[in-house]
Chain A
Amino acid sequence: MSKILENLKYAKSHEWIKVEGNIAYVGITDFAQHSLGSIVYVEAGNEGDQVEQFVAFGAVESVKAASDILSPISGTILEVNQEVIDSPELLNENPYDHYLIKVEITNEEELMNLLDAVGYAEVAK
């Protein structure tokens, strides 16, 4: 059973999003880190990049697999979490404590396309 937090929203592709006003923090879920195994490398775009909902902006790699990371929201990347880039294993330790990017949201209505914890629990079986 993978861990799912109540107060977050989720994308089907196993990313989580925490919204604070018009700023969002984006990361990967417990299900994602568990499926991948020990994460060895993370690519999360650059400050200033435009991201689009459900479009890949980066990738996460383990020894056995590589997966694109899709943004759950459209906007501009304000910050890339360098800590995770430097120590990818943090994502295995606690995927919800370590975001990948901080985004300035351009269209709040897009949040309606995302799942809540209950909805995501169906996907992350």
Chain B
Amino acid sequence: MYDKLIYEISKKDRIGYSLPNDDVGHFDINESLTRTISFDMPEVTELDVVRHFTRLSQKNYGVDQGFYPLGSCTMKYNPKIDEEIASNPAFTKIHPLQNATSVQGALEIYYETSRLLSELTGMQEFTFNPFAGAHGELAGLMIMKQYHMNRGDDKRTKVIVPNSAHGTNPASSSVCGFDVVEVGSTAKGTVDLEALKQVLNDEIAGIMLTNPNTMGIFERDICEIAKLMHDNGSLLYYDGANLNAILGMARPADMGFDIMHINLHKTFSTPHGGGGPGSGPVGVVGKLVDLLPNPRVIKKGNKFDFFHSKASIGAISGFWGNFLVVVKAYCYILSLGKENIANVAKLAVLNANYVKESLKDTYKLPITGLCKHEVVFDGLIHGQATTLEVAKRLLDYGYHPPTIYFPLLFHQSMMIEPTENESKETIDDFIETMKIIAQEALKSPELLHNAPHNTLVRRLDEVKAARTPILKYKDLLK
């Protein structure tokens, strides 16, 4: 197995680049301003670099090669036509501070995508400045806070978050200066209405919910929850991580949500890139539009322009967000069109329920009944191996494991989301493998305890990594 750092294949005087002749003349930098400490970057050829990173790529696993049943991540196919279109120099070679008149195409894409997302969600307008879902949450909560400040109400210091929520929800609330109030779930995994009524008072700014929730269950009482919150003078924030379950079938604004974010890299098929770049556009209802981060894109006649609102929460990004990611999402929506958009949710939900029925005799199903686009199991029924061990053993069969240990409500959580792109054959193979592993746990448990066996590296020592951190190449030389 290739195991070299780029620094380790470096050889003195090698170069990997060429630049045009430098003929403006010689200009010296004052020595007092220059770097005195040595500069040790690799010296390698172009082929060295290409081979190095090609070999690194071969240690990874992408959606293009196989199934990624990661709950809450919506690992759907990333269409290549979207990649091709986003790589157009008319998009990659324009400066963000060019005059609006010279970037009408870019502004049109921002405007149109906002319009399409608004149509799909019922919101009035979207901003594309947030770079990721968590960033969108932060912006959305800032809008919530500013809304109450504008009402002259400084008592609204708390946000309600279900105890099943994703970690970013309470973290974003804190980073925005809110205190978090947790509300419990029913045995069915939905928000406990009675518990919710208990915590409602004039200190509650709003509630953060995802629907379906992190257990893949639709909050049927959502309209009642919305009424309770609005009667209390509070707002509702929708975490769009699970939007794939209802896309084209139901709209968050119709449920009563006031603010939401979408993960373009989940629901709208833009590639995850190993951890980014993503995009977390934030949409709001009419009364909150002026609070959106600056600037927004508006249309005057048939011309597009940037608009800075005085009522805005301010700037949350250096420029206008991850433009190329928005281009890809725009292409995806245009490709699907009206006739296909509702089938995304239908097929995703079909796939998840099929997995649920097929595995419920082998894995513990804590919540029975219809699920939406993802299903949560709570470990093996016979309990002879942990979820972690099952996940590691799945690696030996060439699968990326599902999401594990989330949601926190169950101790052996395993969340499976088979997106609408996955065929019955793929899912049947996965189901079969999960059953085989369950059998192995009974007959040859050591296969699971020490898994994975067949991957390029086996179980890694995370304790060692945290106790003696080696975080850069030069740490090795010490």
Contacts and interface: CB of A to CB of B under 8 A. Distances in A.
A1 interface: no
Interface in B423-478: 462-463, 466-467
Measured as residues with beta carbon below 8 angstroms from the partner, the interface class of chain A is under 10
Contacts of A62: 463, 466
A62 to B, nearest CB: 8
Interface in A80-105: 88-89
Interface of B is mostly: helix
A38 B463 CA distance: 7
Contacts of A88: 467
A63 interface: yes
A46 B466 CA distance: 22
Contacts of B466: 40-41, 61-63
Contacts of B463: 38, 40, 62-63
B470 to A, nearest CB: 13
A61 B466 CA distance: 9
Interface in B373-393: none
Contacts of A61: 466
Contacts of A89: 467
A88 B462 CA distance: 15
Interface in A29-87: 38, 40-41, 61-63
A86 B414 CA distance: 36
Contacts of B467: 38, 40-41, 88-89
A23 B462 CA distance: 37
Nearest to B463: A38
A88 B468 CA distance: 11
Contacts of A38: 463, 467
A38 B462 CA distance: 10
Residue from A61, A63, A88 having most chain B Cβ neighbours under 10 A: A63
A63 B467 CA distance: 9
Contacts of A41: 466-467
Nearest to A40: B466
A71 B58 CA distance: 50
A61 B465 CA distance: 13
A80 to B, nearest CB: 19
Contacts of B462: 63
Nearest to B462: A63
A40 B467 CA distance: 5
A89 B466 CA distance: 11
A62 B465 CA distance: 11
B336 to A, nearest CB: 40
Nearest to B405: A64
Interface string A16-32: 00000000000000000
A41 B462 CA distance: 13
Nearest to A88: B467
A38 B468 CA distance: 13
A34 B467 CA distance: 17
Nearest to B468: A40
B203 to A, nearest CB: 23
Contacts of A40: 463, 466-467
A13 to B, nearest CB: 18
Interface in B235-289: none
A107 B204 CA distance: 38
B403 to A, nearest CB: 15
B467 to A, nearest CB: 5
B75 to A, nearest CB: 24
A62 B463 CA distance: 8
A44 B83 CA distance: 50
Residue from A40, A61, A88, A89 having most chain B Cβ neighbours under 10 A: A40
B389 to A, nearest CB: 16
A84 B467 CA distance: 12
A62 B467 CA distance: 9
15 contacts: A38-B463, A38-B467, A40-B463, A40-B466, A40-B467, A41-B466, A41-B467, A61-B466, A62-B463, A62-B466, A63-B462, A63-B463, A63-B466, A88-B467, A89-B467
The 10 closest A-B pairs by CB, nearest first: A40-B466, A38-B463, A63-B462, A40-B467, A63-B466, A63-B463, A40-B463, A41-B466, A88-B467, A89-B467
Interface of B: 462-463, 466-467
Given A40-B463, A62-B463, 11 more contacts: A38-B463, A38-B467, A40-B466, A40-B467, A41-B466, A62-B466, A63-B462, A63-B463, A63-B466, A88-B467, A89-B467
